[in-house]
Structure 1
Amino acid sequence: MQASDTSSQLSAPRTAPASRRAVLTASLAVPAASAGVLGLSACDTGGDSTDPGVRPGERLAALDDVPVGEPTYVRTESGGEAYVYRSDDTTVAAFGTICTHQGCSVQPDGAELRCPCHQSVFDAATGEVVSGPAPSPLPAVRVTIEGEEIVAE
């Protein structure tokens, strides 16, 4: 056989056709990886991101806007975020909105604040960890009642 004939007979290596299982596995891997990236976007593992950013003297809410026994989300004029909790007519507390585990935003659930990412649960009246992997309580925002307003100290 001549060299020119040999080169004409060379071709790309043959591969076996992809199995149905391989195709299905690959098609499921992409959405699963995408979901993982999207799920992590709710968490912030860098730095101390649990600081609520509420400044002393800032108004958080009118007293009448915070029902007794229910955490109420507030955003201040400076962009600070907190949950205000009113135990009774004269007792208020406020806590940051970011879970101390991996930085996800907590959500109100009755008299608790729950982290949807890893299921940490916090007492809305005290900020203390009730259950879950969170290593510490939610950061407290010192507040007082001035007239009919809840104000950061």
Structure 2
Amino acid sequence: MTSESLQPISAPSRRTVVAAVGVAGIAVALTACGSEDEPSSESADAGTVLAKTSDIPEGGGKVFAAQGVVVTQPEAGTYKAFSSKCTHQGCAVKGIANNVITCPCHNSQFSAADGSVQKGPATQPLAAAEITVDGDSITLA
């Protein structure tokens, strides 16, 4: 072999690595979603009774870590549910008070009524989750 035939191997750029990770993440997300013919892994907790209505304070809420949801009561008798995963960097939200859901990692704040961003650094709202209220039971739909 001559020195002309040997080419130095360069490491991929940061941009290439970030792009590849992003594409891999999208592929994983699409695979996890499944198709209409396949049962979704997210439906495993569907039908789970999360709480009694009396467990959710007005203007507050409760995080259900195992199910990945936060349930709120923004006004008397109105119950809402959202993903408990902060849209900034994926930390689990913790505190719910005065109709505000707070992420402890970077202090992003979300509306307990609709999941919208009230204070960044998050820029996207919390994803809505489906619940049903039957009598005094709140169930993950």
Which residue does the alignment assign to 2:54?
64
Give 1:100's aligned amino acid.
Answer: T
Equivalent of 1:147 in 122, 135, 138: 135
What TM-score, normalized to structure 1? 0.57
SS in 1 for 2:64: strand
Partner of 2:116 in structure 1?
128
RMSD: 2.4
Change in 2 beyond 3 A, CA 1:115/1:87: closer
Letter in 2 for 1:150: I
Percent identity over paired residues: 37
Cα distance in 2 between the residues matched to 1:89 and 1:109: 15
1:113, 1:124 within 8 Å by CA — same for their partners in 2? Answer: yes
Change (3 A) 1:131 1:88: closer
Query: How many aligned residue pairs are there?
Result: 102
How do 1:4-153 residues align onto structure 2 when only pairs under 5 Å count?
47=25, 53=42, 55-75=45-65, 79-110=66-97, 111-153=99-141
> Any stretches of 5+ residues in structure 1 without a counterpart?
1-45
Find the counterpart in structure 1 of residue 32 from structure 2.
none
Cα deviation 1:75-130 (Å, max 9, x = unaligned): 4xxx3122111133431001111111111122214121222222211112211111
- The answer for unaligned runs of 5 or more in structure 2 is 1-23, 30-41
Compute the TM-score of the two structures, normalised by the length of structure 2: 0.62
Retained in 1: the 8 A contact 2:56–2:62?
yes
SS, match of residue 141 in structure 1: coil
8 Å CA contact 2:74–2:112 kept in 1: the answer is: no
